[in-house]
Amino acid sequence: MKPLPLVLMLAACSGGSVPADRDGDGIPDRYEEEFGTDPGEADSDGDGIPDGREIAPGGSDPLDRLSWPDGVWPDFSANASVSDAGFAIGQQMPDIQLIDADGQTVSLHQFYGMVVLLDLGAGWCGPCRTVAQTAEEEYQARRDDGFVTIHLMIDGNAGEPDQAFLEGWRNQYRLTFPVTRDPGNPTLEELDLAGVYDGGIPFQVVLDRDMTITFAGSGVNPLPEVDSLLGSP
């Protein structure tokens, strides 16, 4: 259940009428200056998340575009510019649509402008579990530089992953980045057709800030590539 908008929470607590909120972001106009947000702009930092949702309990910083509440993903897709879409090295990956552990649709291009590590794995894969054990730590160490990991589970423990498997994977490893599935695994098929997929898992794809594939492979640490891209925001 989504949290009650702040403007309604305040009204409920005070027993009074709903205060003015010109931009509809959940923060009454008279409090916007206190929070440093813009009373005429519902999303002050441009991350696709209304300011009121960001400052709600368990939220994040409405003035930091790289800060968002757990389980809520930013949306920078309006900034996307793609001229050479494809699944080969050197091409901009298309805007694939995935389903996360909460059943939400999450698109790749929501993270346009960030360096993305797309990690394809399976529940029965021992090396995938080893990678998952340190994935959150590695993500948090780079998040403020504009980095995100996406786990794309191509298989569960025996067959195509379902929501229960995604939730279990996320919770077991305490992951706060998107843990997703791709029904029918069309992304894996496209990577294979492009000659990029080498047949192993975990298979990891690194995308630069304009979604160009700069690295793809299994059995090779992708973090040096990630770090080289983060060095030039």
Residue 1 has a pLDDT of 33
Bridge partners of residue 116, in order along the sequence: 148, 207
The reply to whether 89 and 190 lie within a common domain is: yes
Residue 6 has a pLDDT of 53
- The last residue of one of the domains, among 52, 72, 92, is 72
Residue 24 tokens read as 């509809």
* pTM of the full structure: 0.85
The DSSP secondary-structure symbol of 212 reads B
The reply to whether 97 and 199 lie within a common domain is: yes
The reply to whether 51 and 86 lie within a common domain is: no
143: how many CB neighbours lie within 10 A of its CB?
16
The reply to whether 86 and 131 lie within a common domain is: yes
How many angstroms from the chain centroid is the CA of residue 26? 23
The reply to whether 67 and 82 lie within a common domain is: no
Residue 115 tokens read as 């360096």
Measured between alpha carbons, how far is 184 from 187 in angstroms, rounded to an integer? 9
The reply to whether 183 and 96 lie within a common domain is: yes
Residues 6+ apart with CB under 8 A from 212: 90, 91, 92, 93
Q: Note whether 195 and 214 are within 8 A (CB).
A: no
Residue 96 has a pLDDT of 96
Measured between alpha carbons, how far is 210 from 179 in angstroms, rounded to an integer? 22
The reply to whether 118 and 200 lie within a common domain is: yes
The reply to whether 203 and 133 lie within a common domain is: yes
The reply to whether 66 and 83 lie within a common domain is: no
The reply to whether 112 and 54 lie within a common domain is: no
The reply to whether 219 and 105 lie within a common domain is: yes
For residue 15, the enclosing domain spans: 1-72
DSSP letters, 174-215, are T--S-EEE-TT-HHHHHHHHTT---S-SSEEEEE-TT-BEEE
The reply to whether 44 and 100 lie within a common domain is: no
- The last residue of one of the domains, among 72, 103, 128, is 72
Quote the number of domains for the chain.
Answer: 2
- The last residue of one of the domains, among 48, 72, 96, is 72
Q: For every one of its 233 residues, what pLDDT tens digit does the chain have, with 9 covering 90 and above?
A: 344 455 445 544 555 566 788 878 778 888 777 778 878 777 778 888 888 888 877 778 888 888 888 888 999 999 999 999 999 999 999 999 999 999 999 999 999 999 999 999 999 999 999 999 999 999 999 999 999 999 999 999 888 899 999 999 999 999 999 999 999 999 999 999 999 999 999 999 999 999 999 999 999 999 999 999 998 44
Measured between alpha carbons, how far is 131 from 223 in angstroms, rounded to an integer? 12
**CATH number, domain with residue 133:** 3.40.30.10
Instruction: Give residue for tokens 């973090």.
Output: 223
Q: What one-letter code names the amino acid at 125?
A: C
